[in-house]
Structure 1
C-alpha cells in the first residue's frame, strides 16, 4: 500500500511549498518552459532551498520541466539551481536525452504526449528503442498543441497498458499525468498500477496551488 510515487508539478509559491513539508511527496516539479506556471531562476532557487526543510525524513527530488531546451540554457539553469531530474516535454530525441544525462549527472524523464482521443501523437513507434538507456522514466501526458502538456485533460487511459508493458520489459518506470485530481487518481492506480502519478492543475483553485487539494491528492494516492 502507498507505493505509488507522487509528483506535484508547477510549484510557484514558497508559502504553499512550506505548507507541504509534512506530506509524503516524492518529486516536486518546477516549470522552466513557457507556461503560466513558469518560474524564474531566482524563484526556482528559493523554492528548491525549501526542499531541504522537508520534515518526513525524505527530501523530494527536484524536477525541472523543459520543452526542447538548448544545452546552453540547461547549463545556465544547472549553474544556478541544482536539479535532480530534467524532464523533457518536447521532441527531444534519445541522443539529446543521453547528452543531458551525461553532461549534468541527472535523471532524465521523457514525456510522450498522447491525444485525448487515443491516437499517439509523438511517435509512430510505441517508443523508439534508442531511448533505452537514455532515459530514467517515461511519462505519459495529454497532448497540448500550445504548451506540450499541462492541459488538465485526461487521455484515453486504455493506452497505458501497452506503455506499461514496454516499460516493464526495459525496467523503466512509468509515470502518468494529464487531468489527474483527487477524485480520479484512485481509479487510475487501481486499474493501471503506474509507477508514479504527476499532477498540476488538478490540485489548483483559480489557477493557484491549493494545499487542501494537494493533501487530498497525496492522501488518496498513498492509501492505495
Structure 2
C-alpha cells in the first residue's frame, strides 16, 4: 500500500511573517499557542496571523484546560479551523465543545497515560510528558511505545522533532502528521531556513517511500 503524504504543522507561530514563510515552505498547518508561556499569543495577534495566511493552510489554536466558552470565542474571532487540546480535557469535554479538535495524548517513559481510544476528535497527537509537563518540552519520547498500537483515528507525532530526526520518525511510524516547534528555532525564534529544511526532509522521505 502506498504511503500517504505526511502533513506538517509548524506550531508556536508568533508573527505573520513566520506564518507566511512556513506556508511558502510547504507547511500544511500552523499553530498558535493560547497557553501561558513564551510562545503565547493574544487573540488579536492570532487573528492577524490567520488573516495573513493563504487558502488551504489549516489554522490551529492550542489550548490547555480553558473553558469551552473561551475556546469557542477565540476560535470564531481568529478564524481557527482546528483546536488542539493539551490539558486534562475529558472525552465528554471534547464532545460537548462542538469544534473540530485534536487531543494531545501524553506519553511518558511508562507509556501512554490516558485511554486515547475514548476521545471523539479528528486526530490524536502524541507528545512527550516529562516532569509533569505535557507538550512543549522539546524532548523525544520512546517511539516504540506507540509503534505497534493500532488506532482508528489519525495520529500526529510531536515531541523533540528536528530536521535531523523527523525522517526516521516518518519511516518508523508513518504518522498522519508531524508537529514541530522548538526543533525549527534558533535562539528561541522560528528560523525560516530550519522550517524549510524540516518540511523538505518530510517530503523527501515520503517521495522515496512512494517509489
Q: Which residue of 2 aligns with 1:206?
A: 187
Q: How well do the aligned residues superpose, as a CA RMSD in angstroms? A: 1.7
Output one character per residue of 1:158-200: Cα deviation in whole Å (capped at 9) or x when no partner: 012244x1x1xx2x11100000000000011111111110000
Alpha-carbon distance in structure 1 between the residues aligned to 2:67 and 2:75:
12
Unpaired stretches in structure 1, ≥5 consecutive residues: none
Establish whether residue 130 from structure 1 lines up as the match of residue 132 from structure 2: no
**Runs of 4+ deviating beyond 3 Å:** 144-147
TM-score normalised per structure 1: 0.85
Does the 8 Å contact 1:67/1:148 carry over to 2? no
Q: 2:104 aligns with which of 91, 106, 111?
A: 111
Does the 8 Å contact 2:147/2:172 carry over to 1? no
Deviation of the 1:75 alpha carbon: 3.0
Aligned residues: 203
Unpaired stretches in structure 2, ≥5 consecutive residues: 206-211
Alpha-carbon distance in structure 2 between the residues aligned to 1:121 and 1:214:
28
Q: How does 1:138-153 map to 2 (within 5 A)?
A: 138-145=124-131, 147-153=133-139
Q: How does 1:31-180 map to 2 (within 5 A)?
A: 31-51=33-53, 53=54, 59-100=56-97, 102=98, 106-115=99-108, 118-120=109-111, 122-123=113-114, 125=115, 127=116, 129-131=117-119, 134-145=120-131, 147-163=133-149, 165=150, 167=151, 170=152, 172-180=153-161
Output one character per residue of 1:52-85: Cα deviation in whole Å (capped at 9) or x when no partner: x3xxxx6211110001110121133134212111
Secondary structure at the aligned position of 2:104 is classed as strand
The answer to which of 67-76 and 200-209 deviates more is: 67-76
